[in-house]
Amino acid sequence: MQKINKILPLLLAGTLTACGGSSDPAPTVNDAEPGLGHDVTQVPSASAAFYVPKFADTSGTLTVTQVSSRETQQFTVNDLNQMTIALDAGRVYQFEFSPSSEQVFCPRKLGCGRALRDDPNDLNGNDEIDFGEPVSANVSYSLAAKLIAGQNQLYFSSYATLLSESQSDSTVLSLTNTPVYHLSHSRINQSLQAEYAARAFTYADIMRQLNIEVRQDDQISPLADAFELAYKHSDNTLWQSYIDEVNQYFIETLLDEKDSILFANVVEQVLLNANEALQLQDMVTLADSETVFNNDLLDHFRDSLGVVRLQEEKYSDELDIKLREIENLATDEAVQESFLALSEAIYNVVDAVSPARNSEPGNYQVNDLDIVYTIDPSFNWRVTGFNRGFEVSIDVTMPEWRKSPTLGDRIAGSGVASVRKGDVSLEADLDDIFLLFDGSIDDENLKTATGTSRFAGKITLQTSASTTKADMRLRLNRVMSPRNSVESILANLRVRGDFETANQITPVTLYAAERSPFEFDTSLDLAFGLHVDFDLKGGPDFQLQLAVDDPSNVTNLNSAEISYLLGGRVMQLDVRRSGDNNNIVAQGKDGYWLDIKQKGRNFTGGYYYGDQQIGDVKTVRGIPGVLFPDGSFESLF
């Protein structure tokens, strides 16, 4: 993990302001004219390319409407993913795609459940709906986007469709410079991230409609209803089932030997962006730009430096300590292991002693766990002992049990559990425990011990230095290893709550996923996404997001990618360091970005709107800034 306690001061104040200090007065800044010297009547051209997940037909009709003028164009396409069209930059458009066929295909590599008798969707007649076979689900594709000069890549998905009607700007959710389904300044990794997110959003819609888990209390209402309840009425009950399916797609992608090769390189950023985009809160409406040439990003950049400087005056040590404490928690191996130890213990106990095995009430021992099992009035397990070196205490009740060799045995319930080792303890009050086995539990078939499970509820995580009280959602996979043994994988984890130490009480969200499940290493190999809300002096709404690809890499500051919100505006920073040379790319809202190259006391680069340069980054009299065509010069700090 990079030293996140140093990133903000280093990348902003430390990197940029360290080269100031000239005694010469700054160049005079003229009152900038509209357009900063550019032709304000010019409407730069934009190109739009598209991506739609191949869970449906990619041929069909694309309808493009400019929202303000209501001008509409229609295109017939053989493959939308190969199409590019020219439009105007700075304008909001709505795009609707109608596939030639309404047929939707099973998006799940493991298949979409049992087929009905004589089911025409069972193309190979194996009584299963396999990956790529037709399913009974409906998916619609539309999105609203404000295009920028140059290339725009737009990603259709069920989530983009939900935001389309209201033309909501989701940048404040995922802290991206454009809505999460719109790339304006991208690299290969960002394109991969957007593709995986679009697939996950659409996969989740299809699987939610299919409801192959068939829980008795499931309510399968239209996704739009779940969205409205969550966004307008703060009722997340139905919306959470959609989020669960989104994360299930990420889990299954990592478990697919072929797909995981690419996905493992971007998993931490996808987890962060996709999940944060689904944490619905107030969003503004996309609107046309009055002029496509402005210096708003520079104003935001300077505001950010100003906030950091305020911390330096009095609070730099405090901020440094706060970030370091969060880093210490995320990299603590015992903390990571505690989540695996707790969930695995519950899974092992229920697998070994259960109604499916016709277990009689009584006392049992599984490895180092002592079990008291009762069945009246409901199946109950009280467990003490040890798992993975942690002291374990469990009391869970499972009133719902399904035995099915074809659909898989399933058990659901709730309970409390805790694990402790040394200074680390994890206590969980779980209102949702759901275990799904791959088949029917059979003493002679090791594969029946494989399956997936989810755990959700409130936790208290304590270390010698901190207490975290949070909502937790966890997915555990039990899979067969190449050594023909059943292994536990911490597939997906989200912890959202308050992180408390002697120095702070800070809202924190931590996402984690096992990066390399095929290696079956005895140690966890987790990728992390981190979202932190800080109440900074001068920036009470400050939010920081950081994707972390290597927890053991604690000293490498040669590169960093962070996103943050300040004053209701988002910015993404991409930093590359080589010796004494620095390169910072700052991306702001509506496709504006700033490229700063620093070598010693000299700064060069450019200020851009999409692919069109607006101004030059120059060093004048020792002061770095941006020179515009109208002759005005604006300092970077």
In order, the DSSP letters of 222-242 are: -HHHHHHHHHHH---HHHHHH
**What local confidence, expressed as pLDDT, does residue 53 receive?**
94
Residue 56 DSSP one-character state: B
Strand partners, 6: none
Q: What is the pLDDT of residue 575?
A: 74
Cis link prior to 27 (omega < 30° from 0)?
Answer: no
Low-confidence ranges of the chain (pLDDT < 70): 1-35, 37, 39, 185-186, 213-219, 305-320, 402-409, 438-449, 480-485, 517-523, 536-539, 549-560, 579
Q: Is the dihedral of CA 232, 236, 239, 244 positive or negative?
A: positive
- Give the C-alpha separation, 327 to 321, whole Å: 10
Side-by-side strand order, sheet with 182-183: 84-88, 45-51, 150-155, 182-183
pLDDT at residue number 528: 83
pLDDT at 376: 84
Rounded to 5°, the CA angle 202-204-210 comes to 110
In this predicted structure, what is the pLDDT of residue 619?
83
How crowded is the C-beta side of 528, counted as CA atoms within 13 Å?
A: 26
Give the per-residue pLDDT at 297: 85
